Structure 1
Amino acid sequence: MGTFPEWVEARPIEKTDADAWAALLSDVQVTDQTGESYSAEDLVEELGDPKLDAARDTVGLWVDDVMVAFGVVYWRKNLVDVDRLGTDSAVRGGWRRRGLGQALMTWIIGRARELHEEHHPDVPEAELNTVVISTNVGAAALFTGLGLEECRYLFTMQRPLDLPIPAVGVPEGLRVVPYEPAYDEALRLVHNEVFMDHWGSTPKDEETWKVWFTGSRAFRAGLSYLVLDGEQIVAYANAYEYEADTAATGIREIYVGQVGTVRSHRGRGLAAVALTALITQAAATGFERASLGVDTQNPTGALSLYERLGFQQHSRWTTYRLALT
């Protein structure tokens, strides 16, 4: 599996490794203050992605019975322009600066090139994208040294739910309803249309939607809201609860995964309508905090919307890219 230091065992990640993988990510959370915790169940779900060939697209690095680092590479079925391959990787805090990060990235870059050739060889442009929190200065230096360049910036934002929630009126002729499975396919198509002009976004096929969005074990249908014009979805806000985060922090948090408004109805405050419905219901059902992530260059002005609704910056993340072709 590539060239790794001889003092580690490198092998694909299996579902039986989920507890060790979760322990590694817990260590990374403490070291880098990512605010992200995972249970073994969360990670087993990720390995269940039908497009992920765990035997070829994942690697765990082990010392004795401890997973000290890992890497995963993801490909996308549907493209808009560039074939952007995603990756996730980390090294335990106490095992950094020993060459593991460099070896991981070398393997990741090689595997990303293979995936491009396997799935989208006719697409002329391909790049690797990876994201790192600002507190991990070692990773930033590693990426720069390997030729990756900064390209986008993301804020995670938080809002205590004991603060007053602004009243947002629903425009005449429209109505707000909780998510129901009957709306699922229409919501997928609306999401694809809404995010078509967002950097790096690609149309979500049914399989991807089921695995990572409304089919995720973290999805909370009763806290997700749709704005309807007749029976047409014109805006929405999807809610997720990551129980491992609650276990780690003691704070029950609702995560706003996706918010959007179709082009024909923009400029009417409908994203705010859906989002306030979500956080109002979350507060009423015992959640203490809401959080979300936003691209600082979001073309729809999402950052200013979230600030108006009381969300404040909590952490800063940078997306790096490396041209593969």
Structure 2
Amino acid sequence: MSWPEGIEARPIDKGDADAWAELLAAKEEVDQEGENYNAQDLVDELEDPHLDPATDTIGLWADGRMIAYGKLHASDTVIDLDRVGTEGTVHPEWRRRGIGTALMPWLMNRAGELHAAKHPEAPGEVTGNRISTNVGAERLFQKFGFEERRYFFDMKRPLDQPVPTAALEGGLRLVPFDTSMDEALRLTHNEVFLDHWGSTPKDADSWKTWFTGARAFRGGMSYVVLDGTTIAAYVLGYEWEADTEVTGSRDLYIGQVGTVKSYRGRGLARVTLAKVLAKAAEAGYQRAGLGVDADNPTGALGLYERLGFSVSSKWVSYGLPL
């Protein structure tokens, strides 16, 4: 792979976390995606047990600064399609110099290698996404033949507004998350999200890394609906300290909302979300946020709007067959 003159390319390691965080902060200042990271957040990403930083990350450097990066995410399980995810950015001061055009083929080639190594028996696709306001990213995806696949909304709700009250019926119980239910919750989550676009089952390592074992996870802001000992629904909350540091607003992010299929239509998600929002307000959070698939089959978008959430940004997911 050839890079523009004066650019050094090498895999990202933990010693690069500060430089990587500086790059992402510069990107956020211009692109306004609502995502902020500190160095420890990025170290956590490099420690993902399913990531090989030596082969699946790349940092581009100039004059001692990281001026671009790329990273891939491969799934261990395939449902319908092997989607190999990509992410990356170019420092705003270095854009329109051909760096993104050079970075994209590296990502595409590595995605093809990962697909061939992990799931050659299934159809494959390299994927990526952009916030709708990033016109430069849109042009880059189009240049390489990517097509729009799906749309997602980020939604927010101020917590100084009243939270609608709701109650459970039929002997169900709403209880705080407890570590004793962790494995049962993982299996329930995998069942719930089988019919969600792009979702694949999470193994124990991924669950611990990105869900209930993540530094951002807030067990005290997470609730589960039980029918006896069976999990019927759940809402998991997270807090990103880097966001608070940058924005000055303490936000609770609703990472997962799920209801087991046989329990849908009974308002369990509404009751659980209302509880989490009320607890977050009591705990001093100022806003709640979440992301939703615009075509979510369970009608989640309408539920969130009825609970006072409104769209803050739109995201576009892209795909290109491998």
Return the TM-score normalized by structure 2: 0.99
Residue matched to 1:183: 181
Cα drift, residue 172 of structure 1: 3.0
Alignment-mate amino acid for residue 19 of structure 2: A
SS in 2 for 1:223: strand
SS in 2 for 1:224: strand
8 Å Cα contact 1:3/1:107 also seen in 2: no
Residue matched to 2:281: 283
Q: Distance in 2 between matches of 1:164 and 1:129?
A: 39
Alignment-mate amino acid for residue 37 of structure 2: Y
Cα drift, residue 7 of structure 1: 1.6
Cα drift, residue 87 of structure 1: 1.1
Q: Does 2:111 match 1:112?
A: yes
RMSD: 0.7
Alignment-mate amino acid for residue 177 of structure 1: V
Residue matched to 1:160: 158
Alignment-mate amino acid for residue 236 of structure 1: Y
Cα drift, residue 255 of structure 1: 0.2
Q: Distance in 2 between matches of 1:178 and 1:87?
A: 35
Residue matched to 2:84: 85
Where has structure 1 moved over 4 Å in runs of 4 or more? none
Provide Cα deviations, 1:167-198, integer angstroms capped at 9, x if missing partner: 01112301111111111011011111111001
Alignment-mate amino acid for residue 292 of structure 1: L
Q: Distance in 2 between matches of 1:277 and 1:90?
A: 38
Residue matched to 2:4: 5
1:127 maps to which of 125, 128, 141: 125
Residue matched to 1:311: 309
Aligned residues: 322
Q: Does 2:26 match 1:27?
A: yes
Q: Distance in 2 between matches of 1:263 and 1:185?
A: 19
Residue matched to 1:14: 13
Q: Distance in 2 between matches of 1:230 and 1:43?
A: 40
2:190 maps to which of 167, 189, 192: 192
SS in 2 for 1:222: strand
8 Å Cα contact 1:78/1:205 also seen in 2: no
Gaps spanning 5+ residues in structure 1: where? none
SS in 2 for 1:221: strand
SS in 2 for 1:85: strand
Q: Distance in 2 between matches of 1:272 and 1:113?
A: 41
Cα drift, residue 6 of structure 1: 2.5
Q: Distance in 2 between matches of 1:276 and 1:68?
A: 43
Q: Distance in 2 between matches of 1:187 and 1:50?
A: 20
Q: Distance in 2 between matches of 1:275 and 1:4?
A: 48
Q: Distance in 2 between matches of 1:227 and 1:287?
A: 23
Provide Cα deviations, 1:205-224, integer angstroms capped at 9, x if missing partner: 11111111111110001100
Q: Does 2:195 match 1:201?
A: no
Alignment-mate amino acid for residue 261 of structure 2: R
SS in 1 for 2:130: strand
Q: Does 2:241 match 1:246?
A: no
Residue matched to 1:298: 296
8 Å Cα contact 1:225/1:238 also seen in 2: yes
Alignment-mate amino acid for residue 158 of structure 1: K
Return the TM-score normalized by structure 1: 0.98
Q: Distance in 2 between matches of 1:223 and 1:296?
A: 25
Q: Distance in 2 between matches of 1:197 and 1:13?
A: 35
SS in 2 for 1:80: coil
Matches within 5 A, 1:61-76: 61-76=60-75
Residue matched to 2:258: 260
Q: Distance in 2 between matches of 1:130 and 1:168?
A: 38
Alignment-mate amino acid for residue 181 of structure 2: Y
Cα drift, residue 102 of structure 1: 1.1
Q: Distance in 1 between matches of 2:256 and 2:235?
A: 6
SS in 1 for 2:266: coil
% identical aligned pairs: 57
Q: Distance in 2 between matches of 1:276 and 1:4?
A: 51
SS in 1 for 2:296: coil
Residue matched to 2:46: 47
Cα drift, residue 121 of structure 1: 1.6
Q: Distance in 2 between matches of 1:203 and 1:9?
A: 37
Gaps spanning 5+ residues in structure 2: where? none
